[in-house]
Structures are given as C-alpha cells and as structure tokens.
A = this chain, B = another copy of it.
Amino acid sequence: MAQALAVKNPVDLVRTQLHDVEALLEEATESQIEAIQEAARYVLGAGGKRVRPQLVLLATLAAGGSLERALPLAAACELVHTATLVHDDIVDDSDSRRGRMAVQFHIGNSASVLMGDYLVIRSFRLVARDSSRELWNLMVDTISTMCEGEVLQIQVKRDTEVTVEVYEVIIECKTAILLRACARIGGLLGEAGPATVDALTEFGYGVGMAFQIQDDILDFIGDEETLGKPVGGDLREGKVTLPVIYALQDAAPEDREELLRIYGKASPLTSEEIRRATQIIEIAGGFDRAHDHAQSYITRAKRELERVAPGEARDALFTLANQIVDRRS
C-alpha cells in the first residue's frame, strides 16, 4: 500500500462534505428554547476533531456509496458522541469531582441530562432522513451497547484488580462500537457487497479500540494545552485504564504499592500524586505496553482494508488509522 503515502491528510478528501456536516449540526441543534440551542452549539463547538463524521464519509467513499446520503448519518454519529461527553459529565453527589466539560461550562446536572437527551434525539431525527431500517437498528443497537459499557465502567470504578479483558469490553462498548458503526454505515451505503461492509466494520472496530487506548494514554501524558484539559482526569475519577493495568502487573513491588495507595485514596488527589502515579506507570513500561496494544489493533484494522477496493479513499482510511495511534491530543 505504497500509495497510502500520497494522502497527506484524510480530511482533504471530504473537506466539502465536512462543511456540510457542520451545517447539519447547526440545523439539528436549532431550538426555540435559546438555552438549549446555545448550550448544544457550545458543546458541539468545543474542539471536536470530527473523527466520526470523517470515518463515515471516507468509508462511504471507499465502498462507492453516495456522500450526499452519508451526510445526515455522519452528523448523527457526531451528535451521539457529543451526547455521551455531556452525560459522562454528570456529577454524582457521591463524587464531588468535576468532569471535563463541566470545568469550562457548568450548566448543572439537570440541564446537562436534558442537553444530552436532546442531542441523541436530534441524532435520530437525522437518522430518520434515511429510509433504511438497517441503519436505524444499527444506531439503536450501538447506543444501547454504549449505555451498557458506561454502566460497566461505573461498576468497576476504583477496582484495581480489573483485567485487560474487562477493560477491553468497556472500551469496546463505550468507544469502539460507535467508530465501528461509523465505518459500517459507510459500507452499508456502498454497493461493494458484504465483504467490503464486513471489512470496513472490522476496520472501524480496530480503529475505535486503538483510539480509546491512545486516549487513555494521553489522559496521563498528553499535552494539557493541546488536550484542552488537565492530565490525570481518569486517575482522579478512579478509572483503571490499560497503562495502569499493565503498570500494576510489571511495576516493582514498592512502586506497585504506591500506585495502589494513590488509587485507593478517598480524598481528591494532589498534582504531586498524579505526577508520581504517572512516573510509576512510565517506569513500569505501562504506557509503552498500552501503546503496543493500540498499535496491534491498528495493524489489524489496516489489514482489513486489503479487502476494500484500492483507491484514494482506502488510502485515506489507512492514513486515518495511523493518525489515531500517533496523535498527541
């Protein structure tokens, strides 16, 4: 796949359509209640990279489908993603820590719930523009699984004995399943047949798994400015992610004890504790092992592309996959 090098930026191939998606997002968040419209657009505008719309559009292109038809679905996937960010941010009264978005934009729990609901519902309005019931069901099943994944994540919070297997189920449900759906939608819109649909579906899944693992790595060692949020958020919330799981396996006994102590701490963590935990994970090779893990998903995902017709769109997907595991924000 030497020609993959030709595509500098996958976005270039669908730049016009990504503008159309933005217009659809504006339209979808129109409301007579000003507070809703304002908040919805604020949240949607908050630095989203539009990875999901890109994936829908490029997969559609790769499968030979209509980009016009893909637009509402691409926008719908972004709305669903945004809704999960909003709902993830609900502050539990047992847990006074703030989520990410709340830091910049605290509209209260009740309003956040309604905002998230609103975004999901609006995504369904976009999905209904398409007459394919297969697509409706795909979206419904995807979001349903995402909810289950989030509950599972709550259940294992602060459980430092969580295994790689359980971690994978969680990130599959909360992230990979939506990216899988994005790529599958593209496949279904095309005329290239079931093998292509299947290949794109698996590609989306692999890319989604790698995406979340990389996210979990960057949550510790990313650049705060590029990320737009302070590092250590998962640690503060007691989320035991892949770098931590690996570090707990491989760290020296005293480092392991210290990491466990930090995770077990009931009161809010200091910056020094977060810095120290990050250092322990680094020394134990947790980030490297997690990155290798992500890389293996990307390798598998790219291999799936061999079943897709060659061309610019396939090359762009190839590049997109590389970008996901190499990104720094």
Contact = CB atoms under 8 A, between A and B. Distances in A.
A155 B95 CA distance: 25
A226 interface: no
Contact of A148 (B31, B120, B154): B31
A120 B118 contact: no
A214 to B, nearest CB: 24
A13 interface: no
Given A36-B151, A109-B90, A109-B92, A140 B114 contact: no
Interface residues of A, number: 43
A83 to B, nearest CB: 8
Interface string A124-159: 110010010100110011011001101110110000
A266 B31 CA distance: 31
A271 interface: no
Contacts of A92: 108-110
Nearest to A33: B148
A140 B113 CA distance: 17
Query: Of A122, A150, A155, which is in contact with the most chain B CB atoms at under 10 Å from its CB?
Result: A150
A102 to B, nearest CB: 10
Given A36-B151, A92-B109, A111-B151, A143 B121 contact: yes
B93 A36 contact: no
Interface string A68-93: 00000000000000000001001111
B118 A144 contact: yes
A90 B113 contact: yes
Contacts of A128: 133, 136-137, 140
A140 B155 CA distance: 31
B35 A114 contact: no
B140 A124 contact: yes
Nearest to A150: B114
Interface in A296-318: none
Contacts of A117: 87, 116-117, 120, 143, 147
Interface string A183-194: 000000000000
Given A33-B151, A91-B93, 4 more contacts: A36-B148, A87-B117, A93-B108, A111-B154
Closest 6 CB pairs of A and B: A118-B147, A128-B136, A92-B109, A33-B148, A125-B140, A121-B144
10 contacts: A87-B114, A109-B109, A114-B147, A117-B147, A118-B144, A118-B147, A118-B148, A122-B144, A124-B140, A125-B144
